[in-house]
Amino acid sequence: MDKTIHLVKLSVGSESPETLAAWQEANAPRFPDGKPRHVTRMWPKRDTELLNGGSIYWVIKGSIQCRQRILRLDEVFGSDGIRRCAIVLEPKVHLTQAALKRPFQGWRYLKVEDAPADLPENRVNDDLLPDELNRALAEIGVL
């Protein structure tokens, strides 16, 4: 049975899942297929597991707030000629339950059982809790 693994990554500069989506949408015309992507220097060693239903979980302002399904991994070369990995993503941003995450560099693998659940569709338009309250609730295990 094939396994699935996810990635977790800081979304530097994003204030919310909405600003992440807006930035991706604004940059979509740069790519022939119009799909959002994150380019990284390292090719994931567990690529087969990522492509078996994996997602990238975005850390925004200290907590995982959303995810995007990984569609494929493309080989790209930077202007310096160095090979990189473009993680091509589904455009839809799925909001998740908040999960605190300390700052880190690069990306990390995230086991399926450790990934925060998606918010139910009927809750995606709810007013978000203030960041401070969201963190406090996550710290005591309520979220």
User: What's the pTM?
Assistant: 0.85
Task: Write out the H or E segment, with its range, that includes residue 10.
Answer: strand 5-10
Is residue 84 a contact partner of residue 32, using CB atoms and an 8 Å limit? no
Dist CA 50 CA 88 (whole Å): 11
pLDDT at 80: 93
Kindly give the confidence (pLDDT) of every residue in the chain, 143 residues in length, as a single tens digit, with 9 standing for 90 and above: 579 999 999 999 999 999 999 999 998 888 889 999 999 999 999 999 999 999 999 999 999 999 999 999 999 998 899 999 999 999 999 999 999 998 888 899 999 999 999 998 876 566 666 667 766 776 676 65
